Each structure stands twice: as structure tokens, then as C-alpha cells.
Amino acid sequence: MNDAPYPVIRLRPKAESRALRHGFPWVYSDELVTDRRTRALAPGTLARLEDAERRVLGLVALNPASRIIARMLDRDPDAVIDAAWFAARLERAQALRTRLYDTPFYRLVHAEADGLPGVVIDRFGDAVVIQPNAAWAEAHVEALAEAVVAVTGAEVLVKNGTGRARGLEGLAEETVLLQGVLDRPVPVSMNGATYMADLLGGQKTGLFYDQRPNHAFAARLAKGARVLDVFSHVGGFALAALAGGAEYALSVDGSAPALALAQGGAQAMGMSDRFATRQGDAFDVMAALADEGASFDLVVCDPPAFAPNRAALEAGLRAYERVARLAAGLVAPGGYLGLCSCSHAADLSRFRAASARGIGKAGRRGQILYTGFAGPDHPVLPQLAESGYLKALFFRLAP
């Protein structure tokens, strides 16, 4: 039992508790009784959640400042959230990843799907990056860090406190080296390619592991091909294509530091002579390449989330359509086009329709060869659609 009983919070009479009982992990602000006492609780406070009939549902983390006002942590309302509690969840998560991968490069914790709401942890060998994107995780980051080191044996530990999710939780942005020394990018081997991950200054945790299976499929199309990788970041699809035997690959991104890391990856692979970069706005660069008469056997576009929420959905779908139209015009006759979306608000059906419209507006026709998602180190919680966000479509375009 917990020595200091947790405060009790309660669902409104009309709030539906069935979803919570069946595994849905969130309570929205309009579902909870928010009296003066509840509003006074600090973000990250742990509390016992009851339904309107005072039946206990479990232990939750409360944030009165967030639309997601409570996140389910444990069905045991008296659970103690300490290093041992974190270690038990981390051990279960790591057991899955070590079964899936032969190398220690993977997403170790995928938030709610791994029982740690709002927490993302990526492993880079002996270095680990923690993203505490919810107020409760920020409040318990020391215990979380202790457990990460105990379970993984990490020598380097980084807290990456950046991103939109933290802003929604009322958390400040900061990146902190919690343990060890890190003075250079970390080389990551994946699908035969080498990626250089900047764990302190890079985007998100430094590398996107979610695209691993889609990189592998693209590499199968790349042998002997001229490849264009748009929104390339650190060379995701381009370097995988080179590892798959591409004749040449061009990475396009708006970030000069990201492209420098991509160049470093190509150099580490001994393939600098077949690799080039072009910095600039992706839409502008694709239009310029078209004006130059450029043509590629494989074009892949992996843009940021154009539709991060429902309010942005229509504008986001128009952006995905525009990407497809510009990219399709750069594909050689009989070549291949890969289009990706990491917007959970744009489901597969809508993303596929937007992509098809763009290809059609470019005067091209295509057949879908492959539909991909995030790798299995990004498991999906069936009750939470947001945990399955990534879609990848590969088309073969008609001559």
C-alpha cells in the first residue's frame, strides 16, 4: 500500500468509463469533475481515478492544464511509481526489442503502447535518449533515468525535452546530457546503411527508427537506380538506397546540419562519390529539378506531419497532394514513387486518396506495390489510434 494516499479524482456522471476499463489510456478535460481542489493539483500529480459511481478505475497522472487531463498509469490504484516500477516496464519493452533486433539500435519505449504514457525512449547502443513528453514523466524523470541505466546499462543518457507535445503539457523545452560524455554523432547501422545521429542537437531523438522496414523496401527497388530522397533528414531513404545498390542518390532537406550528417553517413559507407545533397525548401527544390529536366528512377518523399491534428487535416491533405504531384513529375517512365505521412489525423484511406489525386494531377498513373507502417519497435495500442501514425505508399508509375 502507498503510505501517502493519492488524491481522488472522479469522472463526470455522463462520462463513459467503458473505454477506460477496456484499455483506452486517456481522460479528456470535459470528462472529469474539475472542481477547485482538482484544478489546484500540480501538473504531473498522481491520483486515483473513480467513475461517477465511485468505482476505482486505477492510478492516473493528472495535468489540469492539458486537454488530456489524465493518463492511465496502472490499474492498481495504490501502485508506487518509482525506479522499480519503471524498471519492470522497461524490462518488458526491452525483451521485445532484443527479440526483434540483433543490434542495440531501436525505439525502446513507444509511449502508451509500452505502458509509459507520453514517454519516448530511443536506444543508440550505449547511449539512450529519453523524451518525457508528459508532465508526470517530467516530474519522475530521475527515477525513469535510474531505471533506464539499470535495465540497458547505458553509459550516455540524454533528456530531449523538445517538441510540440511538451508545449501542450505546459513544459519548457530543454535538452540535457544527464550522464556520460557525448562529443560527436553516434553511428547507427540499419539495413546495411550507416546513419549519423546527433543526439544532442538533432531533430527529435536524432534518428527516425520508425521507417526501418520502409527503408528496406525502398532499397529493394534501388539497385542500379538514380534516387531522389526529399525531406531526407539525415539521409534516411537515400543511404538505404545506396546500401541496396543505387547508382546515385540525392538528398533534399531544409536543414544544413541534417544534410551534413547525411554526408557523413555516406562517407562512413564509402559511398560519397555516389551521393549528393541539396539544401532548400522541398517544394521549391522539386519545382527547380523539374525545370532542370531532372528525372529519377525512384523518388521518395517523407515530409513532416502536415496534419498533426484534426483542425489541420484538410490543409494537410492538400499539402500531401501537392507533394505527390511535384514528386510524380520527377519519376522516370516506369519508375517508382514512395510517399509517406506521419500525421495520425490523416488516416491511410485519406492519405492514399490525396496521393492518388496528386499523381493524377501530374498526368501520371500508378499501381500501389507496397503499403508500409512503422516497425515493430513502434507497437500500436489497439485502443489508441494515435499510436499508429506512420503510413508509406510505394507506387510504380506507368511509362
Residue 263's identity, in one-letter code, is: Q
DSSP 235: T
Catalytic-residue membership of 342: yes
User: Does residue 254 contact residue 281 with C-beta atoms inside 8 Å?
Assistant: yes
Direct distance between the N- and C-terminal alpha carbons of the chain, in angstroms, rounded to an integer: 69
User: How far is Cα 11 from Cα 308, in angstroms, rounded to an integer?
Assistant: 28
- Enclosing H/E stretch for 325: helix 313-328
Q: How many CA atoms within 13 Å lie on the side-chain side of 121?
A: 34
Those residues with Cβ within 8 angstroms of residue 260's Cβ, 6 or more apart along the chain or in another chain: none
- What is the SS3 assignment for 260? helix
Beta bridge partner(s), residue 188: 195
What does the alpha-carbon distance between residue 141 and residue 135 come to, in Å, rounded to a whole number?
A: 10
Residue with cell 517544394: 283
> Of 149, 225, 326, 342, which residue is the catalytic one?
342
Spatial CA neighbour of 359 closest among 335, 328, 322: 328
Angle in degrees, CA 217, 338, 375, rounded to 5: 45
C-alpha distances out from residue 329 to 247, 289, 306, 342, Å: 20, 10, 21, 23
The catalytic residue positions are 342
